Amino acid sequence: MTETERRVRVYDDKNVLANAVAARFLKRIGEILEAKSEAHIVLTGGSMGEAVLATVARAKARDKVDWSRVTFWWGDERYLPSGDPERNETQSRRALLDSLGVAPERIKAFPALGEHATIQEAADAYAAELAAAAPEGARYPHFDLTFLGVGGDGHIASLFPEHDAIRDREHVVLAETDSPKPPAERLTLTLPVLNSSERIWLVLAGSDKAGALGLALAEASPNEVPVAGIGGRARTVFFVDKDAAAEVPENLLERERYWTAAHDVRG
């Protein structure tokens, strides 16, 4: 797994969790834009991903960010028609992006069903879009921050346990055609691409995520628990509610490995 500074921050419930992550995101994006001319952010879907973005949309600090300098990507997408409510893009637009007035070319959605002849062509098209935005000689941009959700089985993006995709080190974008969760067809960034991000923030809520969190911290095999293979270049932070943290083994609750919201305000 990528060597990275890892933190776990625990919050009382889902609402407190969403508020905390949204506040940290607004602070972090401001800092990134102070240091750089533009930022590349990778978004996720799911209930917590949408809740965080919706909280950002309501925050007063939202309007202090120069969103015209931010490009949004996604870690994965359900291969469904454009506008389908189950698409991560649709959820992100509804929660935040449509209210920002961001130029269309700054929103880099995965292709939708019907836009290409095959799902493989759709994967190739997104890989080409990533390459077009990359520094010279690179295959994808420098991602400043990547958001990820985590499934109860430990999957991240559309990288599932025991699937070939989690072991792929060659491609940038893969077409998943046999997802254990519907829909069967999905598009996803590969693990090395996700791990190229400067920071990775994973947002987990609910007791059904407790096992995945515990196994990730115990450094299980990424082939069996994909989230265990995640590590950003600088930091990897697990933002969780108490229910998700409830089953983490006591031997993993050491200060070197485990922080609560009261500790270490960096993100």
Q: Domain of 152: which CATH number?
A: 3.40.50.1360
How confident is the model at residue 191, as a pLDDT?
Answer: 98
Decide which of 27 and 3 is more confident: 27
pLDDT at 254 over 70: no
pTM value is 0.93
Going by pLDDT thresholds of 50, 70 and 90, the confidence category of residue 253 is: very low
Going by pLDDT thresholds of 50, 70 and 90, the confidence category of residue 7 is: confident
Contact of 52 with 203, CB cutoff 8 Å: yes
pLDDT at 250 over 90: no
In a domain? residue 229: yes
Decide which of 248 and 233 is more confident: 233
How confident is the model at residue 237, as a pLDDT?
Answer: 93
Per-residue pLDDT of 101-153, as tens digits, reads: 999 999 999 999 999 999 999 999 999 999 999 999 999 999 999 999 999 99
pLDDT at 261 over 80: no
How confident is the model at residue 257, as a pLDDT?
Answer: 44
In a domain? residue 263: no
- As for how many domains the chain has, the answer is 1
How confident is the model at residue 53, as a pLDDT?
Answer: 98
pLDDT mean across residues, the chain: 92
In a domain? residue 16: yes
In a domain? residue 36: yes
In a domain? residue 253: no
Per-residue pLDDT of 153-212, as tens digits, reads: 999 999 999 999 999 999 999 999 999 999 999 999 999 999 999 999 999 999 999 999
In a domain? residue 129: yes
**For residue 197, what are the domain limits?**
5-248
How confident is the model at residue 117, as a pLDDT?
Answer: 98
Mean pLDDT of 43-52: 96
In a domain? residue 256: no
Contact of 89 with 77, CB cutoff 8 Å: yes
How confident is the model at residue 259, as a pLDDT?
Answer: 46
φ, ψ dihedrals at 22, nearest 5°:
-60, -45
Rounded Cα distance, 222 and 214, in Å: 13
In a domain? residue 159: yes
Task: List the structure tokens of 20.
Answer: 């905390």
Going by pLDDT thresholds of 50, 70 and 90, the confidence category of residue 4 is: low
How confident is the model at residue 249, as a pLDDT?
Answer: 60
